Amino acid sequence: MNGRNCCIRSKSPLIAVILNLLIAGLGHVYLGYTKRGIVLFFLSGFIAVISSGLGWIVGVLLCSYDAWQLANNQPAPFDFLEKYL
């Protein structure tokens, strides 16, 4: 097994992306990656604060792409977080 949750196969990638577009990290919570979603939410918020809000857009888009990849059982940009969580 590649370390991914077994329940992800039944989760919709499109729903995960839509949830992430609403609130960064929410799609990860939907997929079962609760810790990862919380970390990405706070990281996106921090980036938004230091970049006057413009970083939020980039953060949300990256989180959405990460959730899409996770839902499709593909390597994701934030896979490096697994060793820290």
Half-sphere exposure of 82 (CA within 13 A, CB side): 14
Give residue-wise pLDDT tens across range 8-56. Answer: 458 899 999 999 999 999 999 999 999 999 999 999 989 989 998 788 8
Higher pLDDT residue, 48 or 5? 48
| pLDDT value at 4 more than 70 | no
- Residue 80 maps to a domain: no
Distance CA 76, CA 68 (A): 8
* Single-letter amino acid code for the residue at 5: N
* Single-letter amino acid code for the residue at 25: G
pTM, full prediction: 0.82
The SS3 call for residue 64 is helix
Provide the residue range defining the domain that includes 28.
12-75
Burial of 76 (C-beta count, 10 Å sphere; 0-12/13-18/19+): buried
pLDDT for position 21: 93
- Residue 42 maps to a domain: yes
Selection from 21, 33, 12, 28 nearest residue 60 by Cα: 21
- Residue 43 maps to a domain: yes
